[in-house]
Structure 1
Amino acid sequence: MQFSEQWLRQYVNPALDSEGLGHALTMAGLEVEALEPVAADFTKVVVAEIISAEKHPDADRLQICKVNVGTDELLQIVCGAPNARAGLKAPCALVGAELPGFKIKQAKVRGVESFGMMCSAKELGLAEESSGLLELAADTIVGQDIRTVFELDDKLFTLKLTPNRTDCLSIVGIARDVTALTGATLLLPTILPVAAKINAQHAVTVSEPDACPRYTGRLITGVNAAVTTPDWIVRRLERSGVRSISAIVDITNYVLLEQGQPLHAFDADKLQGNIEVRYARAGEQLVLLNQQTIELQPDMLVIADSTGALALAGIMGGDSSAVGDDTSNIFLESAFFTPAVIVGKARRLNFSTDSSYRFERGVDFGNTLAALERATNLVLEICGGEAGPVTEVLGSLPARPPVSLRMARLISVLGIPLNIQDVLNILQKLNFTYTHSGDVFEVTPPSYRFDIEIEEDLIEEVARLYGYDNIPATAPQDQLRMLPSAEASLNRNWLRDTLAASGYQEIVSYSFVDESWERELLGNPNPIQLKNPIASNLSVMRSGLWGGLLETLMYNLNRKQERVRLFEIGATYSSVTDGYAEITRISGLAYGDAAPEQWAQEAREVDFFDVKAEIERLAGGRVQYVTAQHSALHPGQTAQVILHGKPIGWIGKLHPKWQQQYQLPRSVILFELDVEPLLQRKVAEYTHVPKFPPVRRDIAVLVDENTNIQALTDSMWAAKNPLINEIALFDVYRGKGIAEGKKSLAFLVLIQDTQKTLTDVEADAVMASILDLLVQQHGATLRN
């Protein structure tokens, strides 16, 4: 929200300078993002009138002007502006004037003395380009300081408002807050009802009263729409970042900025039949004022007549009923639209308007009629004409239920010793209606404060009016004591530390993602759609974390990072029968060399088994891997991760089509696991340190090429032989001496008895049982 300081001070003028006012607003929650002058500094520039202009004898493009600057004598000034002429009023920089970048001195121009300089807007720093002198109105007083004429000592405030403070999207709203903060007198413009001079009305039907609880409008006939907008309105609009268009449009924009109420003017002669507020019909189209033709959707509220839609309610008017210079009769509209009906519609159409920005946050439904009267007064004053009676259709306006504020809760949250009188004073400054009984206040917020809904909202109001600067910074006091920590579970920081120790960097990405990621990358045909996405590429909730990891990988590769390790712990979302499910997962990505470049180790690319080792560190125990298929992963290098007999996630190499789409020169290894199973741990049990040495035996068997090694290992452990301490694969061989379609697997087996030293007979018996198990369950044969 940008506005002129002078405009604000017309309504409330506290005893603070610009910086002090900015600080007060910021500390009250209305952050001043920028405070800047409307024009560069310059001095001694006055209104001048050119009395005569004669051609310079020695220059084709120069004129010798006699100029009246309000003194007893005319000044002689040599001027080269193409629009310099007798009778023109324009700025004149006197000798000694300091303009942006240079100083004016008495000089000779082609042999002729010049006592000053006639100025363009560019030379005064008021425009980037100009084609001639800045022409002033004929009634401008000669000799008056230009800074006074254009109010150039004004400053521009830009507020960075939070979404809940829609009441401060207007000068009146900001003025109310300044009055509450400083105690300065509030002098708002007096809005008097306009007496009807004609009986003509335009019938209005509201078919959707829930979407439009209040609609007001009136006919104004005989207006002069081609009249020039007064400079004071144009100046205030421009300093609020709004371009002047035409008198009637400028008036509606002015009232929007002043009162916070969007309005719209229809050319009444272009309307046919009654005005109707309804939802759009199937196949209905509308050409907007910005010349964009839109296909209206059934959830879009429109203002229509018998011919069809005229305007997109609360967002933008239509071209077919727009006011032009030849307009003589207008229908002026002021309405309240339910925020939920307006929200997201403009963004869906890839634009935003001042009206939609306000309506989707909520405007003051108690000010709808007053804003109409304010606009009517300005139209009659500037454009002339006669006004008809107000047409109003009133439904059920939003309820403003009282909100309870407990003194005990207030003091507990703020930590300052407030009393009842302090709170009474603050509520009175805010013009809140209230009752109180004992230590409990029942506060009814006004219609312009949509953000006051719960007790915490009132606590915030008390805090900001009391002054955050006045709340002392006290150190918290508490007892230091050990917190219980369950041995059977870990916290998520342990997962983070484990991956960070392996060189992984944590990222945090949006839970909102591109719909194409869900449908194509993750194979989710029904992602959870957002009703009001903040951007078109953030339209659904994520069901997995790989999209964010891959996007971050591309960001790093584009900045010449050739070895990347990333992980993220975050929530994922999916639809279930009775609603939605949220599951926290940990996901990782590895790209580039397996180890940082160094002289003592040969470089190789990271592979499936490097990442598999990370998963086993996270799982803290034996993990099983089952061959599976996933839309994002390579068909031949993908596995589902099984922990304690339950699937907990995936590991695999990125599918070649995605590697090609992302233009990745090397392979990417990904994993994703449910967090909760990883945090469960078996409580450690004490066992005696064995006094007797273990026996190592190796066994090599031949199996079919397609035999899963994990299956062999699981079978050996499943036998639960109490003498076996460890089983590990240490060699896989294919080649000479091994039949085609076969492979040799060599396992080490550590055998130990805690009560005695094992004999060779006993060790041989254990190995024989293992061999027998492998032969029977997997068709293995002992390799000689």
Structure 2
Amino acid sequence: MLIIESWLREWADPALDTESLAHQLSMAGLEVDGVTPAAPPFSGVVVGEVKTTAPHPDADKLTVCEVSDGTEVFPVVCGAPNVRAGLKVPFARVGAELPGDFRIKKAKLRGQPSLGMLCGASELGLEDLIDGLLELPADAPVGTDIREYLQLDDQIIEVDLTPNRADCLSVRGIAREVSVLNRVPFNVPAIAPVAPTIDDTFAVTVSAPEACPRYQGRVIRGIDPTAQTPLWMVERLRRSGLRPIDPVVDVTNYVLLELGQPLHAFDLGKLKGGIDVRLAQAGESLTLLDEQTVTLKDDTLVIADANGPLAMAGVMGGAASAVSDGTRDIFLECAFFAPLAIAGKARGYGLHTDSSHRFERGVDPQLQAQAMARATALILAIAGGQAGPVVEVAAEAHLPTPVPIALSAARVEAVLGLSLDAAEIADILARLGMDVVDTGADTWQVTGPSWRFDMAIEADLIEELARVHGYDRLPSRLPAIQGAAISEPETRLPARRLSDLLAARGYAEAITYTFVDPAMQAALAPELTPLALANPISSELAVMRSTLWAGLLTTAQRNLNRQISRLRLFEQGLRFVPGAGEGGGLLQEPMLAGLVFGTARPQHFDDLTDGKPRRVDFLDVKADVEALLAATGGAAVYRFEAAEQHVLHPGQCARIVRDGVEAGWLGKLHPGLAATLDLPADIYLFELRKDVITQVSVPKFSELSEYPSVRRDLALVVPEAVPAGALLESARKACDERLRDIQLFDVYQGDNIEKGHKSLALGLTFQDRSSTLGEADINLLLAGVLSQLKQEFNASLRE
């Protein structure tokens, strides 16, 4: 919100400079984002009066003027369309310096002397609101420095408010805070009710009192449609970020900025029957002031007449009933709408207005009469007319009622670590507008004012005490706590160990959103209907991921688009699978996933193949996964099986299994999917279920055998399709505990091997704990292994 410093100081004027005031507001929780001047530096510009005008003899679009600066009259050639005799405008005399290092010099324009320049708003560095010169009021004192007259040495303070501080969305609200913080008077302008001078009214009905507990309306007839908004109001609106439109709309915007109460004016001649504040009906539509036509939802509160909706309550008016240049009679609306009735409605239609911003956070429910009086008085003063009586419909039962809150000095000290004097506590709360009742023994019953919707519990009051007393004055005191060791089960591998292991192997950890692009999710799991977000932050982040690959592939796309040629990424997080949880609910499963692309080793450490760096392959990534599994102390219990998965290449894909339970997947990105996602085909992925892979085999001592071990090697010929892992697992089952280790150390296909077969060389190590194994014992064990492998895989010894 933009706050004009001079306007603020009319309400509360502390003995602080601008910088100190901004710092104080930030320290009080009203964060100041910046302070900017009302106008850029310039000098030598005064209020000038155009005495005479005459057409330029040699230029149709130029006018020769005589301009007075109060002491002397100067010839000036002007090209503005609105120049005329009697006009008062900013006049830059010879020697003046305008924004952009532009100096005014004596000149001749088409043969006519010009000693100065008449200025529009843009020449002064202001927003150009009209085409031509900046017209000043007729009573502007000629010769006065324009910076002084327009208060251009003013400052604009930009305040960033949290949603709970709706009471500060106005000059009045910020000034109230400044008054409290500095103990200076809070100068509330006198706003007296405007007595009606006509009896005209317009019927009002509130059909949804729970959404609109208070509605006021007033007829004002005979306004002057040619009236101009005074310059002082135009400047305040401009500096506050609002564009002046016409006197009626400008007044409603001005009151919104000044008091924080949104108002709306309807063209009375365009209304029929009476006002009804109700919920929209199915199929109704409304063309808004921005010319957008919306189909109204049945939970949207509207202002309607006999012809249908006139405005979206608390959000935006309709174009059909808007005040225009020909409007003579208006119906002025001022209401309190319940925050829950307005919250989210504007966003639901893709809108955001100053009114909705305030109503959905909470407007003072006792402010409407004062705002109506203020707006009526300003409209009558600027545009004339006669006002009728105020019509009010109120449902007191639905108006917010502040809740009494119990507060104790002991609790204040326990939370803040500071012992505040009881008198100071009561004083601070009273200055904040709260009703404070002393209940004895340094305890109080406190009731918040009508404008503070955020006062609900004791902690809210303590926060206010801390703010006003000063966060920077609170002592630094460490709380007395007793440390407790965190117990981690030995049977679970900590997530940090997994991260450290992958980082040591050259991976970088990624943290991506759990919600992803629906197109990416559909490409990775077309058979699954993902969980959709009810209110996504963007259309590209609209569903919950069912695989961590969605975020990693998106990250890869962004990196590759920025010429990153080598990637090793991993992520730990949850995946969300609808219907796979307990009782058919949502499964939220912790996963560990990785993505690898590029060369096998970093630059300057490349393995060169035919003079080129070697690209990463399936076995490289498999080695990384095996290192992860080995960290559990039980790598032998995992098996890699050839399988098919939609995302992975059919020929380079493995399912990882532990004791018959799927532990994850590993493989190369499917070429078709790579083309769809505009990614290289040689990307490798893995994804593991953390609840499976983090099960640790707890180390335990085994008695060392004093007898020697014996190794025997077997070269077996098996069909080409037989997995080596299955062969090793079967060999282990064929032996007892005397088989201490088994390793695959060679794979061969070629000469002397039957086509469609391969040779697998196994190294078996035997050892007995109670005796030395003899040759007969070893041969018996080997015979059992060969018999098992022949029976299961048709394996035979290689000759």
How far did residue 780 of structure 1 move?
A: 3.6
Amino acid at match of 1:396: H
Contact 1:584/1:676, CA 8 A, preserved across alignment: yes
Amino acid at match of 1:570: G
Output aligned runs, 1:200-279, within 5 Å.
200-279=200-279
Aligned residues, how many? 782
Secondary structure in structure 2 of the residue aligned to 1:46? strand
Contact 2:65/2:78, CA 8 A, preserved across alignment: no
Amino acid at match of 1:363: V
In structure 2, the CA distance between the partners of 1:717 and 1:380, relative to structure 1 (3 Å rule), is farther
How far did residue 493 of structure 1 move?
A: 2.0
Is 1:585 the equivalent of 2:591?
yes
Output aligned runs, 1:670-709, within 5 Å.
670-709=685-724
* Equivalent-residue separation in structure 2 for 1:783 and 1:369 (angstroms): 102
How far did residue 95 of structure 1 move?
A: 5.0
How far did residue 634 of structure 1 move?
A: 3.9
Contact 2:532/2:544, CA 8 A, preserved across alignment: yes
TM norm structure 2: 0.88
Partner of 2:77: 79
How far did residue 739 of structure 1 move?
A: 4.3
Is 1:69 the equivalent of 2:72?
no
How far did residue 58 of structure 1 move?
A: 10
Amino acid at match of 2:422: I
* Equivalent-residue separation in structure 2 for 1:541 and 1:707 (angstroms): 39
How far did residue 469 of structure 1 move?
A: 1.7
How far did residue 178 of structure 1 move?
A: 1.4
Amino acid at match of 1:418: L
Output aligned runs, 1:757-772, within 5 Å.
757-772=772-787
Partner of 1:728: 743
**RMSD, aligned α-carbons:** 3.4
* Equivalent-residue separation in structure 2 for 1:581 and 1:368 (angstroms): 51
How far did residue 636 of structure 1 move?
A: 4.8
Write out per-residue CA displacement over residues 747-783 of structure 1, whole angstroms, 9 at most, x where no aligned residue.
3323233444433332332222222222334444444
* Equivalent-residue separation in structure 2 for 1:58 and 1:292 (angstroms): 48
* Equivalent-residue separation in structure 1 for 2:652 and 2:213 (angstroms): 60
Is 1:556 the equivalent of 2:562?
no
Match of 2:662 among 620, 643, 647: 647
How far did residue 39 of structure 1 move?
A: 0.6
Partner of 1:544: 547
Match of 2:617 among 607, 620, 636: 607
* Equivalent-residue separation in structure 1 for 2:73 and 2:62 (angstroms): 16
How far did residue 474 of structure 1 move?
A: 5.3
Contact 2:28/2:467, CA 8 A, preserved across alignment: yes
* Equivalent-residue separation in structure 1 for 2:207 and 2:65 (angstroms): 67
How far did residue 561 of structure 1 move?
A: 0.8
Write out per-residue CA displacement over residues 282-306 of structure 1, whole angstroms, 9 at most, x where no aligned residue.
3332222111122333343333333
Partner of 1:659: 674
How far did residue 35 of structure 1 move?
A: 0.3
Output aligned runs, 1:8-407, within 5 Å.
8-52=8-52, 66-71=66-71, 74-82=72-80, 86-94=85-93, 96-102=95-101, 107=106, 109=108, 116-127=116-127, 133-383=133-383, 384-394=385-395, 396-398=398-400, 400-407=402-409
In structure 2, the CA distance between the partners of 1:563 and 1:218, relative to structure 1 (3 Å rule), is same
Secondary structure in structure 2 of the residue aligned to 1:321? coil
* Equivalent-residue separation in structure 2 for 1:85 and 1:559 (angstroms): 60
* Equivalent-residue separation in structure 1 for 2:300 and 2:672 (angstroms): 40
* Equivalent-residue separation in structure 2 for 1:362 and 1:313 (angstroms): 14
How far did residue 12 of structure 1 move?
A: 1.3
Write out per-residue CA displacement over residues 132-188 of structure 1, whole angstroms, 9 at most, x where no aligned residue.
544433332211221122221111111122233222222222112112211121122
Is 1:596 the equivalent of 2:598?
no
In structure 2, the CA distance between the partners of 1:10 and 1:499, relative to structure 1 (3 Å rule), is same
How far did residue 737 of structure 1 move?
A: 4.3
* Equivalent-residue separation in structure 2 for 1:440 and 1:639 (angstroms): 69
Contact 2:269/2:329, CA 8 A, preserved across alignment: yes
In structure 2, the CA distance between the partners of 1:687 and 1:525, relative to structure 1 (3 Å rule), is closer
Amino acid at match of 2:496: N
Contact 1:104/1:116, CA 8 A, preserved across alignment: no
* Equivalent-residue separation in structure 2 for 1:385 and 1:525 (angstroms): 67
Write out per-residue CA displacement over residues 299-355 of structure 1, whole angstroms, 9 at most, x where no aligned residue.
433333333333223222222222212223333333333434433343343332222
Q: Which moved more, 1:280-289 or 1:398-407?
A: 398-407
How far did residue 411 of structure 1 move?
A: 2.8
Contact 1:203/1:391, CA 8 A, preserved across alignment: no
* Equivalent-residue separation in structure 1 for 2:446 and 2:734 (angstroms): 73
- Identity among equivalent positions (%) equals 46
Secondary structure in structure 2 of the residue aligned to 1:331? strand
In structure 2, the CA distance between the partners of 1:551 and 1:76, relative to structure 1 (3 Å rule), is same
Secondary structure in structure 2 of the residue aligned to 1:123? helix
Secondary structure in structure 1 of the residue aligned to 2:22? helix
Contact 2:213/2:337, CA 8 A, preserved across alignment: yes
Contact 1:94/1:116, CA 8 A, preserved across alignment: yes
Contact 2:180/2:468, CA 8 A, preserved across alignment: yes
Secondary structure in structure 2 of the residue aligned to 1:41? coil
Contact 1:376/1:387, CA 8 A, preserved across alignment: no
Contact 2:734/2:784, CA 8 A, preserved across alignment: no
Amino acid at match of 2:178: V
How far did residue 414 of structure 1 move?
A: 2.6
Contact 1:106/1:115, CA 8 A, preserved across alignment: yes
How far did residue 734 of structure 1 move?
A: 4.0
Partner of 1:566: 569
* Equivalent-residue separation in structure 2 for 1:248 and 1:63 (angstroms): 34
Contact 1:302/1:311, CA 8 A, preserved across alignment: yes
Amino acid at match of 1:494: R
* Equivalent-residue separation in structure 2 for 1:487 and 1:703 (angstroms): 41
Contact 1:96/1:103, CA 8 A, preserved across alignment: no
Write out per-residue CA displacement over residues 589-625 of structure 1, whole angstroms, 9 at most, x where no aligned residue.
2122222234661333333333333333333233334
Amino acid at match of 2:388: A
Contact 2:280/2:296, CA 8 A, preserved across alignment: yes
Output aligned runs, 1:613-632, within 5 Å.
613-619=623-629, 620=632, 621-622=634-635, 623-626=638-641, 630-632=645-647
* Equivalent-residue separation in structure 1 for 2:356 and 2:527 (angstroms): 34
Q: Which blocks of at least 5 consecutive residues in structure 2 are unaligned?
A: none
Contact 1:520/1:631, CA 8 A, preserved across alignment: no
How far did residue 704 of structure 1 move?
A: 4.1
In structure 2, the CA distance between the partners of 1:585 and 1:421, relative to structure 1 (3 Å rule), is farther
* Equivalent-residue separation in structure 2 for 1:440 and 1:702 (angstroms): 90
